[in-house]
């Protein structure tokens, strides 16, 4: 690598927070012209902070000292003493363009897309002539392949889809003609097919604009698939770096090895699940027949929204059935209907010979049979209640025969069951990590002695290594307690890890239902195939590379 | 008009009706009555009976209430017991004075609170921020009569810049009106600035934490433009809601302030009417204050909905 090839050089970057913490402890790396560098790490690894610090974008109100040097296209941005300058420029181009994780939050809800673009143009002193301004705005949107740019210009962010919003954010980042495009988890908030499109777009733009880019993500498969080289960060330091392919096949650092081990590749043939004929012969525990859920029209003269349209699902004791779909597919409405929290307009949900209704009088029976594991363990627990008490509360409702002492003992046993030390009973949720909290949520659900667990995206708020552990726990509980489990998710890795059968939903209907192995290897429906194609998988990429 | 606005106005009317009942019941159940206030020791059973018959005070309460309400609906506010003037005329004369006082005070307060709150938020945790927030807390804790008296003492007596009390009509002598109105407006401004500044600061802090602020910064928008325009625009709505609620506090503030400065607005009128148990004036005065409060807050709600493009659609949807 010759010196002139290097577009971005970061040397000994450190961030010292006023609180004494050091989220970034001496990070150094080079990115060559036209290269896409990946940075992988879990939450708290310092990967986002590295991007923020080098581009002068520390969050508002964070007091920190940034040291080290950042060189873009041969020009040093930061001196050893202070923060990098706000919005550094090199020549007449911006040093960095930034793409954020959640495009809805990253766009100002009060501004139209036109105003966003105008603000960016103004900031770069490129407002230019009024006469061709409109054409330039349209061109900026066409550049990121946005259809109907005229309509998009007039829209507010909430009127666009997630993928369109992220394209707008990319268009905004490109207005300063940056040397380096920094993308911080740019697809985490997007559906898998949309995510693939957005990343394809970034790679196309990178070629067209001869950009250099840095892609930060928690998703090892995604980074390995898209990037040339990958850095692995842990505890504010780079623990390993290398070519993406090498990293995936022979990781050197123990942390990378652990991360790789926890990363489920849905296309890994070793993950085949052998069906248990005994379980398969059982009669269904919970069945949904022709379930239809509609929501009333939001405005007059609009048709009501059919969220779920005649869906059949059944789950047996001892098996995990996954309901997979993208946002808007109706999977969450289906989950609500199954839990008796959403009236069903047609069809019925039956459980143990009874029909599930939203009737309040059936609530105690129903919650004794079906328990939920929620997506966000941070808000699913009362922050003012020790976790032991939370479990005991559930016990008091569902096992009223127990006295206080045996409730306490039972709560401790449940902590054992979910792999938490008994001493945790006096801790408050804030003292627990995300994965530990989710275990408490599971323990609380088990306290009701349910026959069915309904898990709605139980792992999407967790780090990769924690996800794997939680999924293993859930599978283990299903097997040991003969529970039926419905796993509602968009994540094929989670499905591959624990599900026996999969139901793929799109636009409120089931497009395909099959045992997991069949679905992965021989998907029949075109939508399922598209969904699977969009799943980042290093393994699949490698096989296609080998075959070509 | 949209269904959302109509629904709000409907709730407002219902609230007004409840207020009318409550005011009526409370004032009529207070110890003392207008006749004893008026006649004092000269009240004889005969004159009392004659006056009660004249003003309809001998009839059952429900009948009195219905008569008052019926007249109200035809725009007749009744006649003041103590001054014998039509209440409508009193309101028309006094209410605008109080409204001007409140508006002036509020504008003064906003003039300080908006830039102050933005400055404090943008320099969160700095000496400027601490100074401004502590200062607002101190101001918020001052009662109107105390601030008013201080102002009178300093600028009225010691420095003799402004008259200590009294009033000249705006139409007759604008400069004189301003000289008489500055100190009452300042009093109102001082006690409202604190809360408003802290509200602006809080809404700005929420906005400044948003990702879209980072995006604006990453696109190179200048810091003051980010604060004043990108964040400031979105911080308007929550601030506006508090301003709407402040109107109620402003009204009670005006009552006390007008008393301190002998300013003949609606507040002073209400206090005097209450002392003399002038039932028609008290009832109508309070009802008008309540109506003002409800209308202001409805307007504020609608404007807030309009300011946010996400809720603007519901306003326009059923046009």
Distances (CA, A) of A105 to A100, A165, A166, B16, B236: 9, 10, 11, 40, 18
For residue B232, the chain A residue with the least C-alpha distance is A110
> Which of B298, B310, B306, B301 lies closest to B16 in space, CA to CA?
B298
Residue A268 and residue A382: Cα distance in Å, rounded?
Answer: 39
Question: Cβ separation of B212 and A105 shorter than 8 Å?
Answer: yes
Chains A, B: CB contacts under 8 A, how many?
98
Taken as a whole, chain A contains a residue count of: 548
* Bridge partners, A183 (sequence order): A99, A215
Mean pLDDT value of segment B258-286: 89
Question: Cβ separation of B310 and A169 shorter than 8 Å?
Answer: no
* 3-state DSSP assignment of residue A216: strand
Question: Cβ separation of B217 and A87 shorter than 8 Å?
Answer: yes
For residue B319, the chain A residue with the least C-alpha distance is A300
Which of B202, B217, B219, B304 would you mutate first to test chain A, the one with the most A CBs within 10 A?
Answer: B219
Residues of A in contact with B120 (CB under 8 A): none
Residues 143-182 of B with CB under 8 A from A: none
Q: Are B266 and B285 in contact (CB under 8 A)?
A: yes
Q: Give the residue ranges of chain A where pLDDT is below 50.
A: 1, 80-81, 541-548
Residues of B in contact with A158 (CB under 8 A): 309-310
Residue A123 touches chain B, beta carbons under 8 Å = yes
Report how far Cα B215 is from the mean position of its chain's Cα atoms: 40
For residue A89, the chain B residue with the least C-alpha distance is B220
Where are the alpha helices (H) located in B209-307, listed in sequence order?
A: 211-218, 223-225, 232-261, 266-275, 279-307
Under DSSP, the state recorded for B165 is S
Question: Cβ separation of A110 and B307 shorter than 8 Å?
Answer: yes
For residue B124, the chain A residue with the least C-alpha distance is A61
For residue A63, the chain B residue with the least C-alpha distance is B125
How many other C-beta atoms can be found within 10 angstroms of the C-beta atom of residue A287? 16
Q: How far is A429 from chain B (nearest CA, A)?
A: 24
Q: Which fold has domain B90-275?
A: MetI-like fold (1.10.3720)
Q: What tens digit of pLDDT does each residue of A356-411 get?
A: 888 888 888 888 899 999 888 888 999 999 999 999 999 999 999 999 999 999 99
For residue B214, the chain A residue with the least C-alpha distance is A57
Residues 176-215 of A with CB under 8 A from B: 176
φ/ψ region of A273 (left if φ > 0, alpha if ψ in -120 to 50, else beta) reads beta
More confident residue, B268 or B166: B268
Residues of A in contact with B317 (CB under 8 A): 299-300
Which of B129, B218, B307 would you mutate first to test chain A, the one with the most A CBs within 10 A?
Answer: B218
pLDDT over 90, % of chain B: 23
Crossing angle between the packed helical segments B232-261 and B144-151, to the nearest 10 degrees: 70
Residue B313 and residue B2: Cα distance in Å, rounded?
Answer: 11
Question: Cβ separation of B309 and A109 shorter than 8 Å?
Answer: yes
Q: Are A317 and A279 in contact (CB under 8 A)?
A: yes
Q: Which pLDDT score is estimated for B319?
A: 37
Residues of A in contact with B234 (CB under 8 A): 108-110
- Which one of B216, B220, B225 has the shortest CB-CB distance to A176? B220
Listed in sequence order, the residues at least 6 apart from A382 whose beta carbon sits closer than 8 Å to its beta carbon are A390, A429
Residue B234 touches chain A, beta carbons under 8 Å = yes
R_g (Cα) of chain A, nearest Å? 25
Q: Are B136 and B197 in contact (CB under 8 A)?
A: yes
Distances (CA, A) of A303 to A160, A292, A329, A419: 20, 15, 18, 49
Which of A60, A166, A181 would you mutate first to test chain B, the one with the most B CBs within 10 A?
Answer: A60
Question: Cβ separation of B309 and A122 shorter than 8 Å?
Answer: no
Q: Which pLDDT score is estimated for A300?
A: 64
Residues of B in contact with A61 (CB under 8 A): 124-125, 205, 208-209
Residue B291 touches chain A, beta carbons under 8 Å = no
B53-59 own/partner pairs: CB under 8 Å, 24+ apart: B55/B81, B57/B33
Detail the DSSP E strand segments found in A325-403.
346-351, 354-355, 370-373
Question: Cβ separation of B220 and A123 shorter than 8 Å?
Answer: yes
Residue B150 and residue A255: Cα distance in Å, rounded?
Answer: 69
Q: Which helix (H) or strand (E) holds B194?
A: helix B174-208
Q: What tens digit of pLDDT does each residue of A330-367 get?
A: 888 999 899 888 899 999 999 988 888 888 888 888 88
> Which of B213, B288, B301, B197 lies closest to B251 in space, CA to CA?
B288
CATH of A270-297+304-547, one of 3.40.50.300, 3.10.20.600, 3.30.1330.10, 3.90.320.10: 3.40.50.300
- Which one of B212, B215, B317 has the shortest CB-CB distance to A299? B317
Q: Which pLDDT score is estimated for A547?
A: 35
User: Rounded to 5 degrees, what angle do the CA atoms B161, B167, B171 make?
Assistant: 105
Residues 111-130 of B with CB under 8 A from A: 124-125
Q: Which helix (H) or strand (E) holds A181?
A: strand A180-184
How many other C-beta atoms can be found within 10 angstroms of the C-beta atom of residue A10? 22
Residue B147 and residue B190: Cα distance in Å, rounded?
Answer: 8
Where are the alpha helices (H) located in A281-362, listed in sequence order?
A: 331-338
- Which one of A100, A106, A124 has the shortest CB-CB distance to B220? A124
Residue A86 touches chain B, beta carbons under 8 Å = yes
Give phi and psi for A245, each to the nearest 5: -65, -45
Q: What tens digit of pLDDT does each residue of A153-183 get?
A: 999 999 998 899 999 999 999 999 999 999 9
Give phi and psi for A440, each to the nearest 5: -65, -40
Q: How far is B224 from chain A (nearest CA, A)?
A: 12
Q: Where are the domains of chain B?
A: 3-73, 90-275
Question: Cβ separation of B219 and A119 shorter than 8 Å?
Answer: yes
Q: Where are the domains of chain A?
A: 270-297+304-547
Question: Cβ separation of A173 and B307 shorter than 8 Å?
Answer: no
Residue A492 and residue A265: Cα distance in Å, rounded?
Answer: 9
For residue A299, the chain B residue with the least C-alpha distance is B317
Residue A344 and residue A306: Cα distance in Å, rounded?
Answer: 11
Question: Cβ separation of B216 and A87 shorter than 8 Å?
Answer: no
Listed in sequence order, the residues at least 6 apart from B211 whose beta carbon sits closer than 8 Å to its beta carbon are A100, A101, A102, A105, A106
- Which one of A89, A176, A300 has the shortest CB-CB distance to B219? A176
Question: Cβ separation of B125 and A61 shorter than 8 Å?
Answer: yes
């Amino acid at each position: 690598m010759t010196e002139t090839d290097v577009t971005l050089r970061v040397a000994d970057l450190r961030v010292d927070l006023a609180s004494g913490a050091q989220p970034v402890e001496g990070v150094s790396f080079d990115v060559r012209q036209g290269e896409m560098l990946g940075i992988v790490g879990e939450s708290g690894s310092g990967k986002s902070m590295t991007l923020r610090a080098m581009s002068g974008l520390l969050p508002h109100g964070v007091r920190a000292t940034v040291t080290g040097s950042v060189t873009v296209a041969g020009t040093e941005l930061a001196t050893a003493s202070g923060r990098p300058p706000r919005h550094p420029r090199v020549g007449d181009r911006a040093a960095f363009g930034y793409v954020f994780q959640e495009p809805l939050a990253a766009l100002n809800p009060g501004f139209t897309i036109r105003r966003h673009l105008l603000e960016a143009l103004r900031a770069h002193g490129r407002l230019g002539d009024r006469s061709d301004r409109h054409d330039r705005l349209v061109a900026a949107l066409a550049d990121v392949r946005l259809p109907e740019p005229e309509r998009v210009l007039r829209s507010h962010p909430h009127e666009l889809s997630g993928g369109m919003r992220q394209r707008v954010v990319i268009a905004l980042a490109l207005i300063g003609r940056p040397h380096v495009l920094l993308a911080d988890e740019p697809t985490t908030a997007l559906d898998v097919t949309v995510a693939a499109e957005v990343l394809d777009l970034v790679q196309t733009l990178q070629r067209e604009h001869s950009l250099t880019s840095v892609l930060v993500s928690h998703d090892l498969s995604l980074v390995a698939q898209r990037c040339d080289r990958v850095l692995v960060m842990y505890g504010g330091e780079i623990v390993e770096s290398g070519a993406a392919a090498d990293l995936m096949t022979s990781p050197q650092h123990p942390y990378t090895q652990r991360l790789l081990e926890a990363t489920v590749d849905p296309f890994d043939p070793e993950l085949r699940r052998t069906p248990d004929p005994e379980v398969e012969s059982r009669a269904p525990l919970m069945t949904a027949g022709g379930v239809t859920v509609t929501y009333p029209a939001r405005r007059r003269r609009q048709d009501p929204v059919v969220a779920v349209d005649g869906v059949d699902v059944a789950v047996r004791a001892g098996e995990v059935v996954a309901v997979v779909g993208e946002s808007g597919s109706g999977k969450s409405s289906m989950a609500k209907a199954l839990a008796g929290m959403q009236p069903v307009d047609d069809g019925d949900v039956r459980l143990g010979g009874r029909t599930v209704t939203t009737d309040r009088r059936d609530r105690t029976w129903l919650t004794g049979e079906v328990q939920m594991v929620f997506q966000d363990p941070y808000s699913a627990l009362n922050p003012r209640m020790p976790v032991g008490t939370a479990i005991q509360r559930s016990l008091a409702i569902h096992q009223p025969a127990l006295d206080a002492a045996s409730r306490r003992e039972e709560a401790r046993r449940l902590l054992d069951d979910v792999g938490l030390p008994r001493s945790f009973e006096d801790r408050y949720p804030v003292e627990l990590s995300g994965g530990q909290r989710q275990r408490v949520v599971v323990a609380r659900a088990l306290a009701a002695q349910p026959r069915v667990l309904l898990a709605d995206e139980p792992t999407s708020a967790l780090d990769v290594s924690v996800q794997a552990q939680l999924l293993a726990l859930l599978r283990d509980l299903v097997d040991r307690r003969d529970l039926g489990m419905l796993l509602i998710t968009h994540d094929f890795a989670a499905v591959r890890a624990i599900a026996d059968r999969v139901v793929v939903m799109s636009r409120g209907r089931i497009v395909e239902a099959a045992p997991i192995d069949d679905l992965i290897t021989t998907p029949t429906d075109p939508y399922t195939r598209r969904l699977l194609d969009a799943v980042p998988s290093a393994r699949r990429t490698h096989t296609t590379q080998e075959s070509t | 008009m949209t269904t959302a606005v109509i629904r709000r106005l409907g709730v407002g009317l219902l609230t007004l009706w409840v207020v009318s009942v409550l005011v009526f019941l409370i004032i009529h159940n207070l110890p003392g009555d207008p006749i004893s206030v008026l006649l004092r020791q000269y009240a004889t059973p005969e004159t009392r009976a004659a006056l009660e018959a004249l003003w309809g005070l001998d009839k059952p309460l429900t009948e009195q209430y219905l008569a008052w309400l019926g007249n109200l609906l035809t725009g007749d506010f009744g006649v003041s017991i103590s001054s014998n003037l039509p209440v409508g005329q009193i309101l028309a004369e006094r209410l605008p004075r109080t409204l001007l006082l409140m508006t002036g005070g509020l504008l003064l307060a906003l003039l300080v609170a908006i830039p102050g709150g933005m400055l404090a938020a943008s320099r969160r945790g700095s000496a400027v921020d601490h100074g401004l927030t502590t200062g607002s807390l101190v101001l918020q804790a001052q009662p109107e009569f105390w601030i008013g008296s201080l102002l009178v003492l300093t600028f009225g007596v010691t420095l003799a810049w402004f008259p200590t009390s009294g009033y000249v009509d705006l139409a007759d002598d604008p400069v004189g009106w301003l000289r008489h109105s500055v100190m009452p407006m300042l009093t109102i401004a001082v006690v409202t600035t604190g809360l408003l500044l802290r509200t602006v600061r809080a809404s700005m802090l929420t906005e400044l934490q948003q990702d879209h602020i980072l995006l604006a910064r990453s696109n190179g928008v200048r810091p003051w433009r980010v604060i004043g325009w990108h964040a400031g625009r979105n911080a308007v709505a929550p601030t506006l809601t508090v301003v709407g609620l402040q109107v109620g506090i402003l009204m009670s503030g005006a009552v006390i302030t007008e008393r301190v400065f002998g300013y003949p607005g609606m507040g002073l009128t209400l206090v005097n009417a209450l002392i003399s148990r002038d039932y028609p004036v008290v009832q109508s005065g309070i009802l008008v204050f309540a109506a003002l409060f409800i209308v202001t807050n409805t307007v504020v709600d609608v404007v807030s909905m309009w300011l946010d493009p996400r809720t603007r659609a519901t306003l326009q949807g059923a046009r």
